[in-house]
Structure 1
Amino acid sequence: METRQKFILHEHENNTQTKTPSKIASIFADLKALLKLVVLIINVMPVVTGYLLALHFSGESLTNHIASFIITIVGSFFVIAGALILNNWYEADLDKHMKRTKRRPTVTGNFSLHTVLKVGIISSIIGFVFLMFTTWEATLYAFIGWFTYVVLYTFWTKRKYTLNTVVGSVSGAVTPLIGWAVIAPSYHIVPVMLFIILFIWQIPHTFAIAMRRYDDYKRAGVPMLPVVAGFEVTKRQMLVWIITLFPIPFFLFSLGKTFVIIATILNILWIILAIRGFFMKDDIKWANMMFRSSLQYLTILFGMMIIISLF
């Protein structure tokens, strides 16, 4: 009997040990989904790029601005995270209809909507408080990005107009201006071009996502362009927007000839891939290719900028 009790106790301890890490992993997974971690990182990276490039063109060293750099990144992180959390809070009713979002904690109920709302507001406030220790211009750009994403995109246009993609692109495009404005005024040609690149880039990138998730958006009733106008119209729109990226590198000769050449090659390759879409039978396969190539495009482009600013 004593042996049996020991066995049961030992088995209970093993189960407890296996469940605890699983519960922790589940919490982390929920936080990752709530923060939209990949989107958050993609949006913080241009802030870093803008900051480092401003130092580069101002002849300043990062070692002399470590405190300012940390405050800028932390502030931007919380502002962007707050906007994304509020987006999750408001779109819980849409997310339950979409396969890729139905496991978000706002849908599963792992986090209450009231809690998520409070966390989103608090995160946003913390971010703005941090940025207020930098410059008013950087704080203003952060507010423009936050307001555009939360109010103009999430609360207003996403459920009503295909124009939501263009509106949402403004919020992501201001991120390098935040970083740059901490060091210097942002009327320099480089941050302006970074804004234009990110604004344009987001539109075909988002259209590719909308094609990949066509059934989800249609089921949820979100008026994304592929749902409203079809794939052919979306393909044409994507090609037009990508072509408009072509001349941008020629305004950035201050970053060096190598950058201009590589950026131009990336633009040509992306244009070729966009044209291929009119000849491929499998639209979803092509949309997946466009989605991956858009991420690679942005990573290479901004990665080069960071390298240039550091060396």
Structure 2
Amino acid sequence: MSKSELAVRTKGRVTFQELKQIIKLGLVQGNLIPAFAGAWLAVVFTHHSFLGSIPQIITMVLGSTLVMGGACALNNYYDQDIDRVMPSKQNRPTVNDRISNRHLLILSLGMIVVGEILLFMLNIPTGVIGLAGVIGYVSFYSIWSKRHTTWNTVIGSFPGAVPPLIGWAAVDGQLSILAWALFLVVFCWQPIHFYALAIKRKDEYAMANIPMLPSVSGFKRTRLGMFLWLFALLPIPFLMQSLGVVFVVLATLLNLGWLYLGMTSFKSTTNESKWATKMFIYSLNYLVVFFALVVVMTLINMI
């Protein structure tokens, strides 16, 4: 592409829709759900006043949004070479040159710095956890594991699971077994969610030479990995018995429903891509329903 062509394509301000793509707003919003749930449980179980904790929760949400959005923008900066190869990424502003690398770096690093300042204003543990999440996502996942090992999804699950820890620490300043249980839920959820997506895009990842498990080892090996994480989810509600028996039962039924859906892949007539789509959709609903249960059941128990 010539300099004149590039100038034309980068002319004008980035739109809000393009900004949402750059910071992966959908992913950020999804991570705010467990972050809020962590803060909510900290309020309830450490006997803080909810009204008195609202400034902390708002600061946590703002800080987390900026940190996660900045990390995602930095990921988009680093992934430009592989995104240009993958058909599903062609509308990203980082691919079609709607934003320059200089502006992208300013945006991403600026968001991370401001977000971390807000998190450290709450307390040191919250800021440290947020910083660990950024470093884990950008360096250990984006820069290293994503391009070098089929364990990339699992490695990326560690930084991806810190939002509930940030939420809890923002209110209480330390972590409890409940906070770690929420961490485990998000940690085990992520490989299933992203393996389902990777099955649908295995050809794209192969084109980009990214060693995603479905592209390297095939459907059966990926399905086995998904089942291992589905089974890993089963005991976690029992670590959260302080939320009540009803919660444990409902959360277990939610896990069993996902496991049953996974079992349908063994039918001889199963279409792998359609099954992966169903698993992906269930994963999105799972995250919302599970953490909604966390909040609703504590409210019911308080009545």
- Whether these two folds match at TM > 0.5 is yes
d(CA) in 1 for partners of 2:85 and 2:250? 41
Aligned residue for 1:144? Answer: 132
* Structure 2 residue aligned with 1:53: 41
Aligned to 1:37: 25
Distance in 1 between residues matched to 2:12 and 2:271, nearest whole Å: 40
Aligned AA for 1:154? Answer: S
Deviations 1:110-168 (A, max 9, x none): 11122111110110000001111101111111111111001110111101111111110
**After superposition, what is the alpha-carbon deviation per residue over 1:174-226, rounded to whole angstroms, capped at 9, x for unaligned?**
11001101222544111111111111110111100100111211111110000
Q: Post-superposition shift, 1:306?
A: 2.3
Structure 1: any 5+ residue segments left out of the alignment?
1-22
CA contact (8 A) 2:39 2:57 kept: yes
Residue 25 of structure 1: how far off its partner (Å): 11
1:303 corresponds, among 292, 295, 303, to 292
CA contact (8 A) 1:141 1:178 kept: yes
Measured in 1, the distance between the counterparts of 2:255 and 2:211 equals: 28
1:105 aligns with 2:78: no
Q: Structure 2 vs 1, CA of residues 86 and 136 (structure 1 numbering), >3 Å: closer, same or farther?
A: same
Question: Is the counterpart of residue 157 in structure 1 residue 145 in structure 2?
Answer: yes
For the pair shown, the structure with the greater C-alpha radius of gyration is 1
Selected match of 2:233 from 245, 252, 255: 245
Structure 1 residues 24 and 70: alpha-carbon distance in aligned structure 2, compared to 1, 3 A threshold: farther
Shift of 1:24: 10
Shift of 1:39: 0.3
Change (3 A) 1:25 1:128: closer
SS of equivalent to 1:105:
coil
Task: Return the offset for 1:278.
Answer: 2.1
Q: Is the 8 A contact 2:53 2:171 kept in 1?
A: no
Counterpart for residue 57 of structure 2:
69
Structure 2: which amino acid aligns with 1:253? Q
Distance (whole Å) between structure 2 residues aligned to residue 69 and residue 245 of structure 1: 27
Deviation at 1:67, TM superposition (A): 1.5
2: CA distance between counterparts of 1:58 and 1:40?
27
Q: Does structure 2 retain, via aligned residues, the 8 Å contact 1:212–1:288?
A: yes
Offset at residue 308 of structure 1 (A): 3.4
- Does residue 284 of structure 1 match 2:273? yes
Note if 1:272 corresponds to 2:260: yes
User: C-alpha separation between the residues in 2 aligned to 1:130 and 1:25?
Assistant: 27
AA aligned to 2:260 is I
Amino acid at match of 1:257: V
Q: Contact 1:138/1:181 (CA < 8 Å) preserved in 2?
A: yes
Q: Take 1:266 and 1:186, find their aligned partners in 2: how far apart are those partners?
A: 29
Query: Per the alignment, do residues 129 and 244 of structure 1 end up closer, same or farther by CA in structure 2, a change over 3 Å counting?
Result: same
Name the % identity. Answer: 37
Match of 2:154 among 157, 166, 173: 166
Using the size of structure 2 for normalisation, the TM-score is: 0.92
8 Å CA contact 1:166–1:203 kept in 2: the answer is yes
After the TM superposition, which of the residue ranges 252-261 and 84-93 deviates more from structure 2? 252-261
The answer as to 2:191 corresponding to 1:193 is: no
Pick one of 215, 220, 237 that aligns with 2:208. Answer: 220
The answer for the alignment partner of 2:190 in structure 1 is: 202
Partner-residue secondary structure (3-state), 2:89: coil
Q: Provide the residue aligned with 1:16 in structure 2.
A: none
8 Å Cα contact 1:46-1:175 kept in structure 2: yes
Measure how far apart 1:63 and its partner are. Answer: 0.7
CA distance in 2, matches of 1:243, 1:261: 16
Kept after mapping to 2: 8 A contact 1:235/1:278: no
Question: What RMSD in Å do the two structures reach over aligned CA positions?
Answer: 1.7
SS, match of residue 34 in structure 2: helix
For 1:304, the aligned partner's letter is L
Give the alignment's TM-score, normalised by structure 1: 0.89
Q: Structure 1 residues 89, 26: CA separation in 2 closer, same or farther (over 3 Å shift)?
A: closer
